[in-house]
């Protein structure tokens, strides 16, 4: 269980995290979404006691992380796969971490096996690919068999096989009753493994709900109509209060009226219809729309 209460962090005049209050429950994968610079990493760092909050609290299992003598059995984390010394072997890196928390070498061998790094264990981390470093970071997070796991952009640098593997790992860990809090700036990465979504933008909470709820709330139903007489149908639909946007391929995208209503209208005017389809916006589109106003580094064209 992760709890944030009015968590705020300012850097000079910039507010990285702004009055964030939320609870992340066990047994689920909670996606932590937001555009780049939204404050996700700062939030995770505050949870781990690496950055001090300006105000508010962040607790894991009801305890401020910095008050714990040892951390690995309380929360495992992968913040940045680069947070290792390139001069050490994977085994030595994990051995030092394990030992600092009173765990032995057999635990190191176990997690190396879990992430499939057995064969590379004695190679220097400096020669690892990004994907291998991600696996090493995940191994380190799993060392203490912790009830809470935090991941910051864990899919970065993984090949499709690695992405699928990691999703399965997340699901399995959540099924074991653990709390998983996984940040990403891409909805596509989360929609196949998260059950719950927390969305932030510019440090503020935008959404905190289940994946299904998010989809239903944010996804607007749009009707795609294809007709040989688009001009007269557009006039009729606009008169009925709909918004009509011509698609480049000749179809009409209609908002504000249902497919049934469009069908009845067309029949009344004797306008033939060749296609009448309801299209729900994808989660990705919903996410983009939700965070559009809060994108920290928008491209120039979109401003």
Partner 1 sequence: MTAVTRPADEITRTPHPARYRDLLAAEWIKLWSLRSTWGAFALLLLALVGLATHAALATHAGWPDWTAQRRAVRSPLWDAFPAEAQMFVVLAASGVGAVAIGGEYASGLMRTTFAAVPRRHAVAAAKLTVLTGVLTLLGALGAAAAFAVSQAILADVGASMSVSEPGALRGIAASALLVPLCALVGMALAALIRHTAPAIVTAATVLLLLPTAVNEDERWSAWLRHAMPVPAWQRLIEPGGPPPWLTDTYPATVSGAWTTYAVWAAVAAAVVMLALHRRAP
Q: Which residues bind partner 1 (CB under 8 A)?
A: 45, 48-53, 55-57, 59-75, 77, 79-80, 82-89, 92-93, 95-97, 99-102, 140, 147
Taking the least distance from each CB to partner 1, the nearer of 1 and 255 is: 1
Cα–Cα dist 6/9, whole Å: 10
CA 71 distance to own-chain centroid:
24
Shortest separation between residue 158's beta carbon and partner 1, angstroms = 19
Please tell me whether residue 10 adopts helix, strand or coil conformation. Answer: strand
Name, in order, each residue with C-beta under 8 angstroms of 143's C-beta and a sequence gap of 6 or more: 72, 76, 94, 97, 98, 101, 103, 107, 108, 111
Shortest spacing between CB 40 and partner 1, in angstroms? 15
- What radius of gyration do the chain's Cα atoms show? 24
Residue 97 or 190 having the CB closest to partner 1: 97
Q: Which residues pair with 2 in a beta bridge?
A: 24, 60
Q: Specify the residue, 201 or 203, whose C-beta has the smaller distance to partner 1.
A: 203
CA–CA gap between residue 278 and residue 98 (Å, rounded): 54
Cβ of residue 175: shortest distance to partner 1, in angstroms?
Answer: 17
Going by the DSSP 8-state scheme, the letter that residue 119 receives in this structure is: G
CB of 171 to partner 1, least distance (A): 21
Structure tokens at 104: 């032995």
- Whole-angstrom distance, CA of residue 21 vs CA of residue 205: 8
Whether the Cβ atoms of residue 119 and residue 146 lie closer than 8 Å to each other? no
Closest approach, Cβ 85 to partner 1, in A, equals: 5
Nearer to partner 1, 26 or 256 (CB): 26
CB of 185 to partner 1, least distance (A): 20
- Per the structure block, which two tokens stand in for 9? 């962090």
Helix ranges (H only) for the chain are 40-47, 90-100, 105-114, 130-142, 160-175, 187-190, 211-218, 230-239, 259-269, 283-291
In the complex, least distance from residue 86 CB atom to partner 1, rounded to whole angstroms: 7
Q: Which is nearer to partner 1, 100 or 243 (CB)?
A: 100
Of 19 and 209, which has the nearer Cβ to partner 1? 19
Q: Which is nearer to partner 1, 87 or 116 (CB)?
A: 87
User: Shortest Cβ distance from residue 204 to partner 1 (Å)?
Assistant: 21
Q: Which of residues 125 and 237 has its CB atom nearest to partner 1 in the complex?
A: 125
Measure Cα distances from 195 to 14, 28, 42, 164 in Å: 32, 6, 23, 16
């Amino acid at each position: 269980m992760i709890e944030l209460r009015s968590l705020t962090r300012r850097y000079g005049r910039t507010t990285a995290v702004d009055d964030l209050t939320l609870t992340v429950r066990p047994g689920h994968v909670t996606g932590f979404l937001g555009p780049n610079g939204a404050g996700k990493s700062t939030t995770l760092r505050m949870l781990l006691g690496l950055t001090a909050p300006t105000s508010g609290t962040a607790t894991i299992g009801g305890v401020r992380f910095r008050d714990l003598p040892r951390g690995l059995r309380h929360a495992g984390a992968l913040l940045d796969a680069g947070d290792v010394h390139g001069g050490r072997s994977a085994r030595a890196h994990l051995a030092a971490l394990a030992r600092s928390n009173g765990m032995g070498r057999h635990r190191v061998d176990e997690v190396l096996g879990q992430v499939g790094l057995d064969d590379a264990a004695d190679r220097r981390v400096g020669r690892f690919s990004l994907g291998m470093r991600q696996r090493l970071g995940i191994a380190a997070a799993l060392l203490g068999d912790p009830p809470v796991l935090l991941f910051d952009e864990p899919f970065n640098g993984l090949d499709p096989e690695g992405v699928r593997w990691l999703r399965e790992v997340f699901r399995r860990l959540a099924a074991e009753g653990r709390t998983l809090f996984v940040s990403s700036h891409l909805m596509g990465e989360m929609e196949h493994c998260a059950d719950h979504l927390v969305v932030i933008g510019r440090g503020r909470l935008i959404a905190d709900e289940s994946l299904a709820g998010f989809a239903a709330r944010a996804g607007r139903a749009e009707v795609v109509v294809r007709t040989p007489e688009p001009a007269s149908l557009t006039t009729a639909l606009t008169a009925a209060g709909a918004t009509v946007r011509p698609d480049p391929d000749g179809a009409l995208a209609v908002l504000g009226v249902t497919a049934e209503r469009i069908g009845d209208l067309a029949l009344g005017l004797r306008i033939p219809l060749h296609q009448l389809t309801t299209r729900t916006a994808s989660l990705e589109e919903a996410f983009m729309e939700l965070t559009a106003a809060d994108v920290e580094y928008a491209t120039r064209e979109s401003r």
